[in-house]
Amino acid sequence: MKELLSDSAVFGVVLSILAFQLGSFLKKKWKLAIFNPIFVAVALIIVLLVLTGINFESFNKGGQYFTFLLTPATVCFAVPLYEQLSVLKKNAKAVLAGIISGVLTSAVCIFVCALVFRFSHEMYVTLLPKSITTAIGMGQAEVLGGIPTITVAVIAVTGVFGNMIAETVCRLFRITEPVAKGIAIGSSSHAAGTAKAMEMGEVEGAMSSLSIVISGLLTVVVASVFANFI
């Protein structure tokens, strides 16, 4: 049975879908952030692979198709942005200031952590692109001399965590402006966070989608500068 599952590309696809659906069911039933569908799916798949002894390469024969769909899915975020173009024009300065603030905050936080925990230069630059999309983050980490595989893991954790706590943070700090919510979520937790922003509202989703693009471009520049600090 183990060999049959390992050799089947369908296994990774079916397992991913079932794990996500279970997470969605738990989230609807108990309404708790810990039951975020992405978090539940990731945790469940890791546990099952460890218990069954099936390696990641075997699972990824099917799981890689979801990775392939990530790029067109991200491009689709442009649709709500287009629909809210008037809102963007009206708040252009505030939007740009918010995204720049988000990118700089992320870089400064990693820099401070690097000083406190005495990271090596390699680990430091590996973590710098944590708040942008996987495709850009991997390339940036490699160029700066980091470890792209760890960067991917950190980006995934950042996105899932942002997705889980986005609504709670907005309530805690009494952030009610849709544009502010979207910019904050998109610039800190990329595509996974944007999925949550789109659940919160059309304006939030559109602004978060915009943040993904601009944050990615700005992070390439900012990370290159901050990489020289350690």
**46 and 152 share a domain?**
no
> Which pLDDT score, from 0 to 100, does residue 187 have?
94
pLDDT at 139: 87
Asked if 108 and 11 sit in the same domain, the reply is no
Task: Identify whether residues 94 and 16 lie together within a single domain.
Answer: no
Say yes or no: 45 and 87 in one domain: no
Q: What is the pLDDT, as a whole number, of residue 3? A: 60
pLDDT along the chain (230 residues), means of 10: 63 89 90 83 90 84 76 75 83 92 95 95 95 87 92 90 91 93 93 88 91 90 94
B/e letters for 101-127, b = 16+ CB within 10 Å, e = fewer, are ebbeebbeebbeebeeeebeeebbbbb
Say yes or no: 212 and 128 in one domain. yes
Residue linked to tokens 């996105």:
159
Give me the pLDDT at residue 173, please.
Answer: 93
Pair 66, 88 in one domain: no
Residue 6 confidence (pLDDT):
58
Exposure b/e, 195-226, CB count within 10 A at least 16 = b: bbbbebeebbbbbbbbbbbbbbebbbebbeeb
Structural domain containing residue 149: 78-229
In a 3-state reduction of DSSP, which class is residue 55? coil
Q: How many domains does the chain have?
A: 2
Do 25 and 125 reside in the same domain of the chain?
no
pLDDT value of residue 82? 80
Residues 122 and 64 both lie in one domain? no
Distance CA 48, CA 14 (A): 13
The answer to whether residues 65 and 133 belong to one domain is no
Residues 119 and 7 in one domain: no
- One domain, residues 54 and 139: no
- Say if residue 82 is in the same domain as residue 39: no
pLDDT at 121: 95
pTM given for the model: 0.83
